[in-house]
């Protein structure tokens, strides 16, 4: 859940969650809601992705615990009874399993009949002030880190195009069907991965601000985050970690997705974190080591240094020719051969 910059319609609104001081001293209710339409074929994984996407708003504020979740589910009236009985329980189970992985549970929700399938939920937690990090403390000299690769929208669309010859013909010269299938699997598992590890490390490495990268794309969310800062700063993005081959597909489509421009929508994307310069590499290293045991957030590990914070006008920009970091899908031959560091040393542009 993201609000426009400087949105003060609701008291206690943060970037990704509302933060409401409670009557009971020193405690705040932090709450968020989100929902969307299915984008992968596996209903169980779709449930997991929906839950991860809701929880990610809490994680973007450094909150690692969730007290309660509700599930929102719209069942399509176009589905027959047999399909409903097969698909909906799997979607619900995926949502519940992801909630359990996040240390919480689903205690209720709402189900309706609708022309479209919609899945989402609500996450709530009561916090002490030291349990969350308000997204407004970036200072010049900070480093920007991203914890999941970009390109999920491109991967999902390219996978759909395998059965659409007129679309496939536009991209078949730059990618193989096997590469599209591998990218789709990577996107699906990346979207279903919780950002909980990153949320915990935000505290350990003194993060100054963060947001999650979803529907507005990297640049859209970076702009929203920059606009929230107390200090007069600007975000400059030099590196773009992208699922392998998705950049080539985007270009072959005439930049249909605006992937390199930073406005391609992501679903349940990574956290964009502002860290002290001396902490960024250590954050990335620990993300890699903690992610590898659970399959990792992308084959190359858990985080990438992508830019810097400098004095400026509370806006974000991507340089004209950003460095593209091709992230090989887990299980691919390229991933198996890739023993390089998760967080490439900052390029000369970051110095």
Interval 24-61: pLDDT, tens = 888 999 999 999 999 999 999 999 999 999 999 999 99
Share of the chain above pLDDT 90, in %: 83
DSSP letters spanning 102-164: TT--EEEEEEEEESS-EEEEEEEEEE-GGG---TT---TT-EEEESS-B-HHHHHHHHHHTT-
Share of the chain above pLDDT 70, in %: 87
Whether the per-residue pLDDT at 351 is higher than 60: the answer is no
Question: Going by C-beta distance under 8 Å and a sequence separation of 6 or more, which residues neighbour residue 184?
Answer: 40, 155, 156, 158, 159
pLDDT of res. 46:
98
Q: How many other C-beta atoms are found inside a 10 Å radius of the C-beta of residue 215?
A: 15
| pLDDT tens digits for range 307-334 | 999 999 999 999 999 999 999 998 766 6
- The model's confidence at residue 337, banded by pLDDT at 50, 70 and 90, is low
C-alpha to C-alpha distance for 74 and 80, rounded to whole angstroms: 14
Pair 34, 54: CB distance under 8 Å: yes
Domain coordinates of the chain in residue numbers? 18-127, 142-327
Pair 113, 75: CB distance under 8 Å: yes
Whether the per-residue pLDDT at 296 is higher than 60: the answer is no
Q: Two tokens at 91?
A: 């979607």
Nearest to 277, CA basis, from 322, 308, 311, 314: 308
Phi, psi of 98 (to 5 degrees): -65, -40
pLDDT of res. 255:
82
Q: Two tokens at 349?
A: 């542009």
| pLDDT tens digits for range 209-231 | 999 999 999 999 999 999 999 99
**Could you tell me which residues are beta bridge partners of residue 209?**
274
Whether the per-residue pLDDT at 346 is higher than 80: the answer is no
CATH architecture of 142-327: Alpha-Beta Complex (3.90)
Q: How far is CA 78 from CA 8, 25, 46, 74, 84, in A?
A: 40, 50, 19, 12, 10
Instruction: Please state, rounded to an integer, the average pLDDT across all residues of the chain.
Output: 90
CB-based burial label for 229 (10 Å; 0-12, 13-18, 19+):
buried
pLDDT of res. 334:
65
Nearest to 197, CA basis, from 288, 120, 281, 109: 288
Pair 264, 151: CB distance under 8 Å: yes
For the segment 133-153, the average pLDDT, to the nearest whole number, is: 97
Its CATH class, for the domain covering 18-127, is alpha beta
């Amino acid at each position: 859940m993201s609000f426009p910059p400087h949105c003060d319609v609701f008291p206690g609104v943060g970037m990704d969650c509302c933060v409401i001081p409670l009557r009971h001293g020193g405690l705040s209710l932090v709450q968020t809601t989100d929902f969307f339409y299915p984008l992968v074929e596996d209903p169980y994984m779709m449930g997991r992705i929906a839950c991860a996407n809701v929880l990610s708003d809490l994680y973007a504020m450094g909150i690692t615990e969730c007290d309660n979740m509700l599930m929102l589910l719209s069942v399509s009236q176009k589905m027959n009874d047999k399909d409903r009985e097969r698909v909906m329980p799997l979607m619900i189970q995926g949502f519940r399993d992801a909630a359990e992985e996040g240390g919480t549970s689903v205690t209720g929700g709402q189900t309706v009949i609708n022309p479209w399938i919609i899945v989402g939920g609500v996450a709530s937690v009561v916090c002490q002030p030291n349990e969350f990090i308000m997204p407004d403390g970036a200072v010049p000299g900070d480093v920007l880190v991203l914890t999941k690769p970009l390109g999920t929208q491109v991967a999902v669309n390219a996978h759909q195009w395998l059965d659409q010859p007129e679309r496939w013909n536009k991209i078949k010269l730059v990618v193989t069907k096997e590469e599209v299938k591998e990218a789709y699997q990577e996107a699906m598992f990346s979207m279903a991965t919780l950002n909980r590890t990153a949320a915990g490390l935000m505290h350990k490495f003194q993060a100054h601000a963060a947001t999650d990268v979803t529907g507005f794309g990297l640049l859209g969310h970076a702009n929203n985050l920059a606009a929230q800062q107390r200090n007069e700063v600007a975000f400059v993005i030099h590196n773009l970690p992208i699922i392998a081959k998705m950049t080539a597909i985007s270009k072959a489509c005439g930049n249909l997705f605006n992937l390199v421009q930073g406005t391609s929508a992501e679903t349940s994307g990574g956290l964009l974190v502002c860290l002290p310069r001396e902490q960024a590499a250590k954050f990335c290293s620990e993300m890699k080591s903690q992610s590898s045991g659970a399959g990792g957030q992308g084959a190359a590990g858990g985080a990438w240094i992508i830019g810097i914070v400098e004095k400026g006008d509370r806006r974000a920009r991507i340089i004209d020719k950003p460095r593209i970091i091709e992230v090989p899908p887990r299980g691919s031959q390229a991933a198996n051969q890739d023993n390089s560091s998760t967080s490439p040393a900052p390029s000369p542009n970051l110095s």
